[in-house]
Amino acid sequence: MVSVLRRLATWRWAAVAIGALALAVLPTAVGAWPVAASAPSPDVLLARVRSSATVAFSGYAEANGTLAVPDIPQLGDLPALLGGTTRLRAWYAAPDRWRVDTVKPAGEDGTYAATGGTWLWEFDPGRATLVTGEPPVRLPRAADLLPPDLARRFAAATGPDELRSLPPRRIAGRTALGLRITPRDLATTIGFVDLYADAATGLPVRVAITPRDATTPALTAGFLDLRLAAPDRALLTFTPPTGVQVTTTAAPDITALVDRFAPYMLPNALAGLPRRDVVAGVPRGVATYGTGFGLVAVLPLSVDVAHGVLRRLSGPPAAPLKLDGVADFEGSTIATPLLNAVAVRLGRRFYLVAGTVGEPLLGRAVAALAANPPPRRPT
């Protein structure tokens, strides 16, 4: 099952080096072009960003992260996505018809959204997998770092009093209008998010996330080349090459595994944070707390997974967990400017508690779980 999870979250793709080099110098050239745009009000532009999922496009984008996350198999490709450069080529017609390739020197993999599932093509070793269904919770994938998807996630959580306009810029050869999102929530690690959207369509073209008390973004994603038109349908259709291994599998439901190994009724509030509305299809054993951008997620772990995670977190960049007033526990913390996490054993129970909040708040959440162990769900 772990290997299936890793395949679902792992995208190893490549592009021609000369083409990548040419795209890399594009921002320098087009950034100097004059920009003229009549910007709408911030709330109007935010609404256009939120409704931009109907805009068809194709293009090349790069995401750059500076967050040091330990390489843990259960996290899939999250460490690489947050701690390095991800190069993406995308063709998008609709929410259920798209393709994303990730650019790497050693080969090319592809992800194709199709009727009835998602095709995963692994260039090396030459393997095709059709994943049927879409679980309510899944591991992060490279396509989540495309500027439109990333920006719409932030836009969905933004209130009107958290916005201000930024001067327009030239991005990927197009005039882009800017928004700065400054969270009101003082508990969040996010200082501000700069979001740029195409002036004509509202399609997000660049996102930069800067931690609190910092001046340099910790995660950026932006198009270097962009074409606003429906891509050729042939580019969105995957046909397995002759002779390659083809596998069909159901999408692994992470929440079902959680329910199987940790069927707890997590509380409606934790460390002073309210629980978010329960998502349809997500069991009570998984919970997210907080409002706006200050979020804390609680994920119970099975014994075998938990022991593997704790072993991987026995040294840097992880550090031992410190809890006052809790006797029977062991754990480690992962600290980055944007994302913090705690992996902990409390008695015979194991949890992963993570979020866009500071370590002290995560510690209070873990202490609350230790003081009031969640009851088991009725069978």
324-352 pLDDT, tens digit each:
777 788 888 888 888 888 888 888 888 88
Contact 7, 137 (CB under 8 A): no
134-161 pLDDT, tens digit each:
655 556 677 888 999 999 999 999 988 9
Residue 275 is classified by DSSP as: B
Per this entry, what is the length of the chain?
379
The full set of domain ranges for the chain reads: 2-247, 254-371
Contact 334, 352 (CB under 8 A): no
Q: Which residues of the chain have pLDDT under 70?
A: 1-38, 68-83, 107, 134-140, 250-263, 277-285, 311-317, 379
Please determine, looking at this structure, whether the domain spanning 254-371 carries the CATH number 1.10.1760.
Answer: no
Contact 147, 206 (CB under 8 A): yes
The pLDDT of residue 70: 55
Q: How far is residue 86's CA from residue 84's CA, in Å, rounded to a whole number?
A: 7
- 195-212 burial, b for 16+ CB within 10 Å, e for fewer? bbbbbebbbbbbbbbbbb
Q: How far is residue 343's CA from residue 353's CA, in Å, rounded to a whole number?
A: 6
Strands 97-104 and 107-114: antiparallel
What predicted TM-score, i.e. pTM, was given to this entire model? Answer: 0.79
Indicate the helix (H) or strand (E) that contains 53.
none
The pLDDT of residue 75: 53
The pLDDT of residue 68: 63
The pLDDT of residue 19: 35
The pLDDT of residue 357: 93
The pLDDT of residue 146: 93
Q: What is the CATH number of domain 2-247?
A: 2.50.20.10
